[in-house]
Structure 1
Amino acid sequence: MNHGVDPAGSRRTERKLRVARRIILGSMLFILLILVGMPLTELRLGTDKVTLWRTVLAEAVAVPLGVALMAMFRDRMDGRRDPRPWLYWGSIAMAAVAAAALQVPVSSMFFLGAWWAVGVFVASRRRGAAVSALLLALPWALIPFSPLDIQFIPFLLAWVFSIGWALLLSAGSLASLWLWDVTNDAVKGQRARAQLAVTEERLRFARDMHDLLGHSLSALAVKAELASRLVDRAPARAAAEMEEVHELARKALQQVRTAVSGYREVDLAEEVASVGAVLAANGTAVSVTGLEGLSLPPDRESLAAWVVREGVTNVLRHSDATACEIAFTRAKDTAMGRALVVEVSNDGARDGGERGTSSGSGLAGLSERVSLGGGSLSAVRTKGGGFLLRAVLPL
């Protein structure tokens, strides 16, 4: 189980995103070519009434206008919904000047339509609607500036045709922006999921380190203390206890390695036998019920083993118990349907020790682990100064 971030995959994603951005910006160069080429086309196809200085003026304005339009489109791709005012209104002013300098009405209409096909998407809808109304009326206002004789019906038909042409161009711009937004959002979502996976893995690792080392170190402390007490009175038994300390240390190291690799399954029968031996060495009598013949799915068995481990760790740390009971019971007609109830109880909890799931990171981590498995955990004091840890695990 690897929840880390793949650096190579991240680099590939970033590279694809850059390529997609360049392709979209490159497709917008078509609009730039229309703006720059319209005055030159008018000069070539115009009549004797077309004057050179007006064409030069329109061309001189069209070039910076195209650059400004591309800059606003790039800002919009970067997530800027409100364009820089001087750039936006400056581009509108340049579009109006260029349209007035153009002498063929159809050229002015197509020129304004090319600007609108991009400019309408770089600002808010309200501003875009106002500017659209302005651009629709502008060709009619420019009629006095044309050196040609204007006929109403042909002019109206050209005006309607230029609107359809602008809508066609705008569909391409809108599709490009929509595809970019979808792609960018998908990449951001992938980054967020990767970051969440890293965070979850860190929490998993911290929880496992506490659960594994907390129990193992408590068991080692009990065994080492017993060996120190026996070293003078019963050297042979002390040596045996130290051998068990060595074996416990070896198992703890193995458990840490499995936790690091991500495989956290714990064998229930082995765990019960292990904690039973530790409790017995601590002078605590252990009784186990319901384990014989118990068959569970691997994930439920591992979860039950974690409950037993944490329960016994708390007995070692926070009690002076003389007896500990570990019980496994199948329950029916519960809110979870079929469930396994795991109980770890002792008869000698210390004052200020186990008070519930909020006391200490051990029970808090176990509660989180059980909740992730769909179960519930409770930890309460019992009559006579005892303590009961109870987990209900859905089957």
Structure 2
Amino acid sequence: MRYHGADPAGSRQTERKLRVARRIILGSMVFVLLAMVVLPILELVAGTESVVLWRIVLAEAVAVPLGVILLVMLRDRLDGRRDPSPGLYWGSIAMAVVASAALQVPVSGMFFLGAWWGVAVFVASRARGALVSVFLLVLPWLLIPLSPLDIRFVPFFLAWIVSIVWALFLAAGSLASIWLWDVTNDAVKGQRARARLAVTEERLRFARDMHDLLGHSLSALAVKAELANRLVDRAPERASAEMDEVHELARKALQQVRSAVSGYREVDLAGEVASVGAVLSANGTVVSVSGLDDLALPPEQEALAAWVVREGGTNVLRHSDATACQIAFTSAKDTTVGRALVVEVSNDGARAGGAPEEASGNGLAGLSERVSMGGGTLSAARTKNGGFLLRAVLPL
């Protein structure tokens, strides 16, 4: 899969859908909060001469701001705040207790508490919600002395059970809405994180490709141009032939850069070995290749092997005075990856005064990342005879 960047239109559409979903959830909760506001009015309309007006007015005066506070806490919860403001949370509980105590009919008070619980229980932590739930279950029984009506146990108990069912029904709706919101929001965040990761990986891939492609191509161009410059007086025809190769190398380098930019590039291992061998031979290095004949590899491993050969040849050009270079392909069994292809590029003349692995910088680092992503391992070190060995183990 290729990734070419974020889709602004798709991102805006996703943001718009999230805003609409958020408004729908808040809007659905408004109906629950309206029930809290309507309960005192219903008690007044259905009441008799025994209704105490000031209690109804107090309950209504508390219910309206309480509904607003619940909406604020629910909005904060949807915005990712798992722990509400202590002042708002405990203040809303106190207001719910006052309104429930002010209502004269016990059923109204219990349904009022159930409406609060069905919304507010999910805006706080589970431990706090559990404690508050136990308190609200006991509260209607504690408020019996404050009711001016004659309370009978059996009807009161049945009303208490019904109010619990009512609260659970509201809580189920609230939980479903909040849970779906969390799942959707987490999915969107995960999608954004994957998009950012894809962008980062694409940048790293592009940086590695540019370094590896241009590093080898420019090194080859420099060698060919220097050789042509030395031959221009002694052998003009040979110099002309070398300049033709410089032109051909430049053309191929341009094609490779275009391929890297487009994100698609076919790698031919045999062609890469031949290209590296030609450049090194032109620089006076004798190249020997073993194990390449009849070597059949999957495309991924062939590409990795070609990158190893390319980087090894580039290091020979840049960081050695080698007279001989060996490129070897052997099959082996590795304890970590099982059956594997071992690719080795070695030379006999690493320059003194600096380790080639340090001088190559991003080259070997990028190649190591590339090989690791393919499940293999890469090592680079000086040899006892003063040379340098680049070795890659690629799983098959």
Q: Do they superpose with TM above 0.5? A: yes
| Residues 319, 359 of structure 2: 8 Å contact kept | no
> Structure 1 residue 333: deviation in Å?
6.6
Between 352-361 and 76-85, report the one with greater CA deviation: 352-361
- 1:348-392 per-position Cα deviation (integer Å, ceiling 9, x unaligned): 111144455896221121111111111122222223211111112
> Cα offset for 1:205?
0.9
Matched with 1:62 is 63
Give the distance between the partners of 1:231 and 1:356, measured in 2 at CA: 35
Aligned to 1:277: 278
Task: Report the CA distance shift for 1:156/1:257 in structure 2 as closer, same or farther (over 3 A).
Answer: same
Bigger shift: residues 247-256 or 313-322: 247-256
Comparing 362-371 with 50-59, greater Cα deviation is found at: 50-59
Provide Cα deviations, 1:186-209, integer angstroms capped at 9, x if missing partner: 111111111111111111111111
CA contact (8 A) 2:350 2:356 kept: no
When residues 334 and 88 of structure 1 are mapped into structure 2, their CA distance, relative to the original with a 3 A threshold, is closer
Name the CA shift for 1:337/1:128 in 2 (closer, same or farther; >3 Å): closer
C-alpha distance in 2 between matches for 1:136 and 1:333: 67
Establish whether residue 25 from structure 1 lines up as the match of residue 26 from structure 2: yes
Q: Deviations over 1:277-332 (max 9, x none)?
A: 11111111111222222222222111111111000000000100111111222234
Instruction: Provide, for residues 53-91 of structure 1, a one-character-per-residue CA deviation record: whole Å limited to 9, x for no partner.
Output: 322222222111111111111111112122112211221
Find the counterpart in structure 2 of residue 243 from structure 1.
244
- Write the mapping of 1:1-395 to structure 2, written as runs, cut at 5 A: 1-3=1-3, 4-332=5-333, 335-354=336-355, 356=357, 360-395=361-396
One-letter amino acid of the counterpart of residue 56, structure 1 = V
Label 1:16 to 1:226 Cα distance change in 2 as closer, same or farther (>3 A): same
Letter of the structure 1 residue corresponding to residue 210 of structure 2: M
Distance 1:182 1:363 in 2: 42
Deviation of the 1:163 alpha carbon: 1.6
Say if 1:369 and 1:358 are closer, same or farther in 2 by CA, change over 3 A: farther
The answer to whether the 8 Å contact 1:46/1:104 transfers is no
Matched residue type, 2:89: Y
8 A contact 1:308–1:326 mirrored in 2: yes
- Check 1:200–1:356 CA distance in 2 against 1; reply closer, same or farther (3 A cut): same
Of residues 381-390 and 327-336 in structure 1, the stretch that sits farther from structure 2 once superposed is: 327-336
1:78 corresponds to which letter in structure 2? D
1:242-262 alpha-carbon deviations (Å, 9 max, x no partner)? 221111111111111111111
Unaligned runs of 5+ in 1: none
SS in 2 for 1:304: helix
Q: Report if the CA contact (8 A) 1:354-1:387 is conserved.
A: no
- What is the CA distance between 1:217 and its match in structure 2? 0.9
Letter in 1 for 2:352: D
Between the aligned partners of 1:294 and 1:22, the Cα distance in structure 2 is 62
| In structure 1, distance between residues paired with 2:335 and 2:167 | 66
The answer for unaligned runs of 5 or more in structure 2 is none
Q: CA deviation at 1:15?
A: 2.0
Residues 24-74 of structure 1, C-alpha deviation per residue, up to 9 Å, x if partnerless?
Answer: 112111211111111111112222211333222222221111111111111
Kept in 2, the 8 Å contact 1:357–1:367? The answer is no
**Is the contact between residue 121 and residue 128 of structure 1 (CA under 8 Å) also seen in structure 2?**
yes
| Structure-2 separation of matches of 1:391 and 1:305 | 11
Q: 1:116 to 1:348 in 2, by over 3 A?
A: same
Tell me, in whole angstroms, the C-alpha distance in 2 between the residues paired with 1:36 and 1:203. Answer: 59
What letter corresponds to residue 2 of structure 1 in structure 2?
Answer: R
Q: Percent identity?
A: 80
| RMSD after superposition | 1.8
TM-score (norm 2): 0.94
Tell me the CA shift for residue 265 of structure 1.
Answer: 3.2
Return closer, same or farther for 1:362/1:143 CA change in 2, 3 Å cut-off. Answer: same
Normalised to the residue count of structure 1, the TM-score between the two structures is: 0.95
Runs of 4 or more, structure 1, over 3 Å off, are: 332-335, 352-359
Q: 1:68–1:335: structure 2 CA closer, same or farther, 3 Å change rule? A: closer
Tell me, what secondary structure is at the counterpart of 1:286?
Answer: strand
Residues of 2 paired with 1:152 and 1:195: CA distance?
Answer: 63
Structure 2 distance, partners of 1:162, 1:333, is 69
Q: Secondary structure at the match of 1:231?
A: helix
Equivalences, count: 395
